Amino acid sequence: MKAVQLYYPPEWAHCYGCGYLNAQGLRIETHWHPERGESETRFTPKPYHTAIPGFVYGGLLASLVDCHSTATAAAAKAQAEGLSLEAHPLRFVTASLKVDYLKPTPLGPELLLVGRAREVKGKKVVVETELFAEGVLTVRGEAVLVQIGEGFGRSGSAPGGG
């Protein structure tokens, strides 16, 4: 199945974490598994994503949780409403992000993020994410995502569900 991010229209695809039009970005790709109600993102940090040598920088991990959560929100909301992302490319921004670093995350192996929507209500989705390195849970995140409309970010415009 196509990654959630690839449904975003070009004007919403410049995000540093997940925009397919950002050549310098992380360009993460999140896959939604409707039968499990879970999302997955895989990402292998580069050697320069270092904190303490041998371990991944926490800010990068927060970025991965952040953008994984926005995509999870879009997919979960689409499923809850019976919409296809193809016809309805929903886009969410992060209102709140909490990241718990449970253990140091080793630098080298591919990381796996697994997300679930804990709440889908109106234009708000609450997403829980677990990040694993070689099967070990090292980071847990919780994010509140709010759906935006086409006018988001333009001066004088109010955020709106779209």
3-state secondary structure of 29: coil
Tokens 């193809």 belong to which residue?
86
The residues of the shown chain that bind ligand MFK, judged by CB under 6 A, are: 12, 15, 17, 66-67, 70, 91, 93-96, 121-124, 144, 146, 152-153, 159
Least distance in Å: CB of 144 to ligand MFK? 4
Distance CA 90, CA 78 (A): 7
Distance CA 73, CA 119 (A): 9
In this structure, are residues 67 and 15 in contact, taking their beta carbons and an 8 Å threshold?
yes
Rg (CA), the chain: 15
Taking the CB of residue 141, how many other CB atoms lie within 10 A of it? 23
Cβ closest to ligand MFK, residue 24 vs residue 121: 121
Least distance in Å: CB of 83 to ligand MFK? 19
Least distance in Å: CB of 54 to ligand MFK? 28
Cβ closest to ligand MFK, residue 75 vs residue 107: 75
Cβ closest to ligand MFK, residue 114 vs residue 146: 146
Cβ closest to ligand MFK, residue 12 vs residue 43: 12
